[in-house]
Each structure stands twice: as C-alpha cells, then as structure tokens.
Amino acid sequence: MEEVLKIEHLHKRFENINVLEDISLSIKKGETVVIIGPSGCGKSTLLRSIIGLESIEEGKVLFEGTSINPLDKKDIKIRQKIGMVFQSYDLFPHKTILENVILAPVKVQKRKKSEVIEEAEKLLERVGLISKKDNYPRQLSGGQKQRVAIVRALIMHPEVLLFDEVTAALDPEMVREVLDVILDLSKQKRTMLIVTHEMAFAKAAADRIIFMDGGNIVEESIPEEFFNDPKTERAKKFLKTFEFEKEKE
C-alpha cells in the first residue's frame, strides 16, 4: 500500500529540552495508527509538527512522497489535505454549527456553498447532530462539540486526519460518542494518526500502535502484540499503570 505520510528523522527542541528525538514513521493509505505514551512524551508535539503548528529543527515531513513545510505559503494546499482535531474542540464561538462546518470549504477551497451545505448536513446527520445545526457551540455539550469538530475536519476531504487527545477534556459518558465516530472512520479505511489515552479504544481502532516515551518511539507493533506481550520494559511499566487503576475500581 502507498505511503501517505512519512516522517523522517524529526527533531524538535524547546530551549534545551529535546521534545522529539529522531522520530521516523510512515503511515499507509487507509491505516489507523495510534500513538500512546505518558504525558510529555512528545506525542502531541509530533502531531503539531506534522501540520505546521510547531517548527521543526531537523528532519522532513513527506506528504504523498513530497517534502512539505506546512508553514510555507505555497504548501497551504497540502495543509488542507491534513485535517486535525484538537483536545479543546476549538469551534468558532461566533458561528453556528453549520457555519463552523462550511466556513473553510467555502472560503478556503472556494467550493459552491449550496453543495457544501448539502454535504455538511449529511455529515452532521451521520454524527447525530443535524438538529443542532443552527445552534451556537456554547449550546452544545463537550462531546457534541467534538463531533462537530470532527465533521469540520472531514468536510475538507483530508487525506490524513490527526486526532490530538480528542477525548481528554470530556466527561466519561461523552467519550464514547466521540470514539464511536472515530471508530466508524477507521472502519471506512480513513488514514488516521491518533494520539489517545483510551487504551480500550486504541486496541479496537488501531492497525498499529506506536508507543512513545521521552521524545522517542520506544515500541511499534500491532495492538494484540503490544497490549498482550509488550517487548520493552518501558511499555510494560506504562501498561501496568492502567492495570493498577482497574484493580482499584
């Protein structure tokens, strides 16, 4: 299968701290890759570097074989092919749900408004939020807002979707509704790179698990292998923390 996204020897420093040290990975078309790891291991920074929210010191990000610099003006078209959903939803508070969804396709991709609205309504229908299309973001729950944020990214027809701890700010009951939407996308063979702390979800959705720690990729394997028989001590220790939580319950 062809590689959609490829990262080669990525380095990122914040002052004197190495946040990312020589990260290399590639994602094939239709693949769902889940990155897990302790807080501060650099997983969010990795996603942000791919889309250009962080500058990179060394290394390359290749999109469909060509090296891109998302900060570069001429690569703006490529940036539109990489969608991102954030932990804090970040819907535009002054726009209704429908307006939030259609803003970028109409203003950025210059698509026909009527056609975009039609697609937006279909997508909102699919995530069960068509009745909220004329509401403002503040009138929605966290889980609903996050589903809208996913729709807002989807309508751009991205080749790759990046999810940065999208359920971390949600109440437990709302986590499910958001993860179900993502799981659905995974089944549709969307290319996705997901950072999450939801282990059960990672197990269910991932084609491949990447375990990061201290700015490095420590382990990379298929979910069954990673969760049942982790190779590294670091991964074992990390997975233990979740078992401990279970015992306490």
Residues at the interface with another protein (CB under 8 A) = 51-53, 73, 76-77, 79-80, 82-84, 86, 88, 90-94, 103-104, 107-109, 136, 138-139, 149, 152-153, 156
DSSP letter string, 189-239: T-EEEEE-S-HHHHHHH-SEEEEEETTEEEEEE-HHHHHHS-SSHHHHHHH
The β-bridge partners of 213 are 216
User: Which residues, including other chains, have CB under 8 Å from residue 150's CB and lie 6 or more apart?
Assistant: 85, 127, 166, 178, 181, 182, 185
Smallest distance, Å, CB 181 to another protein? 18
In this structure, the dihedral spanned by the alpha carbons of residues 204, 183, 198 and 19, taken in order and rounded to 10 degrees, is 110
Given a contact cutoff of 8 angstroms between Cβ atoms, the answer to whether 97 and 140 are in contact is yes
Q: Which of residues 97 and 156 has its CB atom nearest to another protein in the complex?
A: 156
DSSP state of 41: S
Smallest distance, Å, CB 229 to another protein? 36
**What CA–CA distance (Å, rounded) separates 151 from 181?**
10
Smallest distance, Å, CB 76 to another protein? 6
Smallest distance, Å, CB 92 to another protein? 6
Q: Which of residues 25 and 101 has its CB atom nearest to another protein in the complex?
A: 101
Smallest distance, Å, CB 215 to another protein? 21
**What CA–CA distance (Å, rounded) separates 117 from 125?**
12
Smallest distance, Å, CB 48 to another protein? 8
Given a contact cutoff of 8 angstroms between Cβ atoms, the answer to whether 65 and 74 are in contact is no
Q: Which of residues 105 and 230 has its CB atom nearest to another protein in the complex?
A: 105
Q: Which of residues 44 and 186 has its CB atom nearest to another protein in the complex?
A: 44
Q: Which of residues 94 and 246 has its CB atom nearest to another protein in the complex?
A: 94
Q: Which of residues 27 and 85 has its CB atom nearest to another protein in the complex?
A: 85
